[in-house]
Structure 1
Amino acid sequence: MTTTSVTRQTADSPALHYYVVHDGAGVPEGLLVEEFLLAADYSTVGLVSGGWSRPEGRWYEASATSWRIRVDAVLRKRVTPVGRPAAAALYQNLCGADLPDEDAVRAFFGASPAQPPPSSLRLSDSGPRPGFRETRVYRILFTDELSADGLAALSEAWQMPITGDPADPEVRVLGEVRRQVSGDAFRWELRRVAAGAAYGLDVTCDLLGERDEAVGVLLRGLTTQMRQQGMIPVTVDRFR
């Protein structure tokens, strides 16, 4: 049964998602800070965010902007994914103050997502793979273009052989990775989706024990590594 309870990342989770916002001439003019709200199984149920604008000199609720950059390619070119240290350095440079801590930033997010939670995409309720207690399948969806350098960096970080020709528009799966962690088995495929307009990581988790924290750690880590290559996460859907 699917749960819809909403969780926020805790202090020991990776940082919130930070973006530098540029004006039409490419000059940095602010920050966008996002957080995905997660169900108990680590699938996405919402997206909230706050922004800071140098021209206005203030923070504001920005969930609508976050959703717009995922559907508007022109607007998307004005944002660049960064880590918190780069965001803090820019904030210090633009306004001469320390970037607020993450709890303070969350105060600008608003009380609820700008969009309703996505409908369930559970496509299969088949049993676990033999030898495991539970099998889950997720897709982490990303928008924007993955550069050749970005693909090479992911291949090196994941020790992932590139099995498909990136220059061939008919190729969908570009590589596959397998990992074993304390008896649990994980594998993910880097895949082109929507005729190459987006990318997905299709992640299969075969769980041996009762605990599933490793699933959340893996999904967040993969998302962070894709963001480091300029990709913008859209959602984490669970198919099984």
Structure 2
Amino acid sequence: MSLVVAGSRSSLDYYLVRAELGDGEPAAKAEAVVVEEFTRQTDFTTVGLDSAGWTPSGAGWWSSASLGRSMRTDATLLARVVPTGRGVAESVYRELGGGQLPDEAVLRTYFRDHHPIPTAPPLRLGPAQPPAGFHERRVYRVLFAKDLQEEQLVSIRAAWSTPTGGTPGSVAAGHRLRGGDQFAWELRRVGRGLAWCLDLTALLRGAASDEVGPILSELTHTMRGRGLIPVTTERFA
């Protein structure tokens, strides 16, 4: 088993939780700031999640594994959660009376209730052997909660230059060459339309690649930028 590593070399994920109106609909104004970080194996699969939240009525930052789960499974809460960047989170934190948002090294010290995510050895999805000229074939699946609007899908297709007439069930796709390695990905609905997944196939020239992690991170960031919430990253080959 690969060594478990924290994602301290990358930035944290930031979310706003909007207030709830009397009829159950989310209001435009945020009432909380949440920061998160996944723990990953050295092959970039997810093994855990840390999170911390802050509300103006609370006594500082608090940590809750159950909140991290609920942000991905509770439909009512999902409707109120908005992925955002650090700049917006800083502004909201200041507007809510928190002052200067702590830097990420300090925010990580508020992670006190770790949520482990079960893992299993990689399943075989597709041919066991890589194509000629490649050392290894990897297949990753990144699962996301929440939904996409049609304009968001159009934006993703344009960003990835999605070809017409792709794989059945795929709504957006892209590909890239990096240092002799080939990467191709597809976005599709899963779970009877309740979630989304992004499947990445990596064909590696050598025994390792410095590009797998950055590309997975970039693709996940793209989906967060369109409003989806990452749940886990699995490996199938």
Give the TM-score normalised by the residue count of structure 2: 0.90
Q: CA deviation at 1:48?
A: 0.9
- Does the 8 A contact of 2:15 with 2:82 survive in 1? yes
Aligned to 1:217: 214
Q: CA deviation at 1:115?
A: 3.2
Q: 2-side partners of 1:130 and 1:99: how far apart?
A: 51
Q: Which moved more, 1:113-122 or 1:178-187?
A: 113-122
Aligned to 2:12: 16
Aligned to 2:158: 156
Aligned to 1:168: none
- Does the 8 A contact of 2:46 with 2:117 survive in 1? no
Aligned to 1:198: 195
Task: Write the mapping of 1:66-105 to structure 2, written as runs, cut at 5 A.
Answer: 66-105=68-107
Q: Which moved more, 1:41-50 or 1:87-96?
A: 87-96
Q: 2-side partners of 1:96 and 1:59: how far apart?
A: 10
Residues 91-137 of structure 1, C-alpha deviations (whole Å, 9 max, x = no match): 11112511111110011112x63234333352358222221111100
* Amino acid in structure 1 at the alignment position of 2:93: Y
Runs of 4+ in structure 1 deviating by more than 6 angstroms, as ranges, are: none
Aligned to 2:136: 134
Task: Give the gaps of 5 or more residues in structure 1.
Answer: 165-170
Q: 2-side partners of 1:151 and 1:163: how far apart?
A: 16
- Does the 8 A contact of 2:175 with 2:184 survive in 1? yes
Give the TM-score normalised by the residue count of structure 1: 0.89
Aligned to 1:113: 114
Q: CA deviation at 1:24?
A: 1.1
Q: CA deviation at 1:173?
A: 1.2
Three-state SS of the structure 1 residue aligned to 2:6 is coil
Three-state SS of the structure 1 residue aligned to 2:192 is helix
- Does the 8 A contact of 2:49 with 2:117 survive in 1? no
Q: Which moved more, 1:73-82 or 1:210-219?
A: 210-219
Aligned length: 230
Q: CA deviation at 1:212?
A: 1.9
Three-state SS of the structure 2 residue aligned to 1:130 is coil
Aligned to 1:239: 236
- Does the 8 A contact of 1:34 with 1:47 survive in 2? yes
Aligned to 2:177: 180
Q: CA deviation at 1:158?
A: 1.3
- Does the 8 A contact of 1:38 with 1:44 survive in 2? yes
Q: Structure 2 vs 1, CA of residues 56 and 10 (structure 1 numbering), >3 Å: closer, same or farther?
A: closer
* Amino acid in structure 1 at the alignment position of 2:40: L
Q: 1-side partners of 2:199 and 2:207: how far apart?
A: 22
- Does the 8 A contact of 2:35 with 2:53 survive in 1? yes
* Amino acid in structure 2 at the alignment position of 1:231: L
- Does the 8 A contact of 2:63 with 2:111 survive in 1? yes
